[in-house]
Structure 1
Amino acid sequence: MSDNKALVPSHERGAALDLRGDTKDFVTAYIGKQLFGIPVLTVQDVLGPQRITRIPLAPPEVAGSLNLRGRIVTAIDVRKRLGLRDKEDEDPGMSIVVDQGGELYSLMVDQVGEVLSVPKKAFEQNPATLDARWREFSDGIFRLDKKLLVILDVTRLLDFNAAVKQAV
């Protein structure tokens, strides 16, 4: 019998992460001292500091837009989306560009790490102790030697309509 859990939607089983195969690859990023992972197949590009144009009346998590090789890309401040304080230093950070439904989004993070390949057997559901806001945007975790890798669900992270529905 095949493992159909990997194909069940996240709202039905708690994680949308496809766990087929022996390992999973993630582009890692730091926000503060916390390590996050984004599935490598969703990543289009990694950018250094960019000039961002503010968008009037946009939600606070939307930092603005930028031009990437002639395409307009919406820049999302992941720090604000996760409910974290603004950075204290002046380092402009980096961005991970992802494709969501044919649209490009720039996920603004403090620092981009490496591409990390982790064994799927090390995957765990979100622990109850993980911040509630982080659980909302996380597929689960991997416990590494001295760090916790929180896997971001890009679809939920970019779903601003769900946040509006919950607030109503």
Structure 2
Amino acid sequence: MTADQFCTFTLAGQHFGIIVDDVQEVIRHRPGSRVPLAPAAVVGLMNLRGRIVPVIDLRTRLALPPQPAGAEPFNVVVRTKDGPKALVVDDIGDVLTLDEGTFEPTPGTVRGPAGELVRGAHKLADRLLLILDVPKVLTYAPAAAG
């Protein structure tokens, strides 16, 4: 059996993880510049040491309620072939090394954004760790005309 390492974080009280090799860095969230006509999940652009990085709100992307006022979120900056992208998360957890034997694919009964964006879950002693499919998370529909 093989083991993978996951960067873990929380969103609306739920525990999520992404493969640590996809993570460039974790930083405190900082306000970015809003982008007109961008999809709702793209909350702006930020300057990260001279690079312009899109910032994606995972709560919006997963159809979760917005963060409470005054919350101090984090950005998980992920590597992509198109350059870094920042994912806004509520809080950062640990890096966990998990055996593939604890992993189960997402059941077909899970619908909506979670069914599309979660690859599956690792069964931990006290909770489930939902594993995000980062390429799918970063593929979003254009903003709705309104």
Per the normalisation by structure 1, the TM-score is 0.80
| Residues 53-132 of structure 1 aligned to structure 2 (within 5 Å) | 53-132=33-112
| Structure 2 SS opposite 1:50 | coil
2:12 and 2:64 in contact (8 A); partners too:
no
Q: Could you tell me which amino acid in structure 2 is paired with residue 46 of structure 1?
A: V
Cα distance in 2 for residues equivalent to 1:135 and 1:100: 22
Pairs within 5 Å for 1:1-168: 22-160=2-140, 163=141
Whose Rg is larger?
A: 1
Any stretches of 5+ residues in structure 2 without a counterpart? Answer: none
In the TM superposition, residue 131 of structure 1 has moved relative to its aligned partner by: 4.5
SS of match in other structure, 1:92 = coil
| Residue ranges of structure 1 left out of the alignment (5+ in a row) | 1-20
The size of the alignment, in residue pairs, is 142
**CA deviation string 1:75-132 (max 9, x = no partner):** 0000000011111241130010011113211000001111011111111010245443
What SS class does the counterpart of residue 100 from structure 1 fall into? coil
CA apart distance, 1:146 = 1.4
Paired AA for residue 38 in structure 1: I
Q: In 1, distance between residues paired with 2:29 and 2:87?
A: 12
Q: Give 4+ residue runs of structure 1 displaced > 2 Å after superposition.
A: 127-132
Q: Distance in 1 between matches of 2:118 and 2:64?
A: 15
Evaluate the alpha carbon distance shift between residue 131 and residue 146 of structure 1 in structure 2; reply closer, same or farther with a 3 A threshold. Answer: farther
**More RCO (CA 8 Å, sep 6+):** 2
**SS of residue in 1 equivalent to 2:59:** helix
Matched-pair identity in %: 37
Distance of 2:114 and 2:58 partners within structure 1: 11
Report the counterpart of residue 16 of structure 1 in structure 2.
Answer: none
CA distance in 2, matches of 1:131, 1:144: 23
The structure where helix makes up a greater share of residues is: 1
